[in-house]
Amino acid sequence: MALRRWLMLRSAREAISPYVPSRFAVAARSEYWRGRLIECWIRGQSLRDPLTGLWNRRHFLEAAVKEVELAARHALPLALGMADIDHFKAVNDNYGHLAGDEVLRRIASLFQKTLRGTDIVARFGGEEFVLLFPHSTGRDAAMTLERVRRICADTEILYGDQRIRVTVSFGVSELQEKRGRRARWTSIP
C-alpha cells in the first residue's frame, strides 16, 4: 500500500515537475495538507458527543456566546431551549444501559431531523439537551419544541425485542433586549 502510494506520488510529481521548483516541495505540501486534514478531523471529533453525534457542551457554549452577541448587536430574536428525557433512570434500570444509549441516539436523531439546519442542538450532559434557535422568538421555539415533544412521545424505540417509549420535557426562554440595558433571558410559559 505504501509503495503504491509512493509510486502514485512520484508519477504525479513528475507530471507537474515543470511547475514545481522541487520534488521536496510536493512532498512537503502533501504532508502539510495531510496534517491539516487530520487536525480538522480531530477538532471536529472534539466538538461532538461520541454517543449521539450532536454537538457537545463545549461547542454549544462557544456557539451560544457568538449567537447572543449577534442577536444583541442586531436586535435579532433568539430563543434557548432545554430538554430532558423523563424518567431516564428507569429506562436504564429496566432495560439496561445499552438500551438507554439507544434511546439517547434516537432522541438525538429526532432532534436533528425535526429542527432547522440553523438551530443548534447539543447534548448537555446525561439525558439533557440544550437547543439554540437563532432568529426565533420564544413562542416560535416553544411551538417547535411542542411538535418535537409529540414526535418523541409517539416514537417507539426498538432495542432487541423490546419496545421502549419515552417522553421529553422542554423549557424555553428568549433573549430580551432592553434599550440602554443589558440583554437578559426571559422564561416562556
End-to-end CA distance of the chain: 61
Q: How confident is the model at residue 19 (pLDDT cuts 50, 70, 90)?
A: very low
How many helices, marked H, and strands, marked E, lie in the chain? 6, 7
Residue 16 has pLDDT above 50, yes or no: no
Residue 133 has pLDDT above 70, yes or no: yes
Q: Is 127 a catalytic residue?
A: yes
DSSP 187: E
**Pairwise CA distance, residues 11 & 26, whole Å:** 12
Q: Quick one: which H or E segment has residue 116? A: none
Query: Strand (E) positions, the chain?
Result: 78-85, 120-125, 128-134, 157-159, 162-164, 168-176, 184-188
CB-based burial label for 5 (10 Å; 0-12, 13-18, 19+): exposed
Task: Convert the pLDDT of each residue in 152-165 to its tens digit.
Answer: 999 999 999 999 99
Task: Convert the pLDDT of each residue in 80-112 to its tens digit.
Answer: 999 999 999 999 999 999 999 999 999 999 999
Q: How confident is the model at residue 180 (pLDDT cuts 50, 70, 90)?
A: low
Amino acid found at 108: A
Q: Which of 127, 146, 156, 177 is catalytic?
A: 127
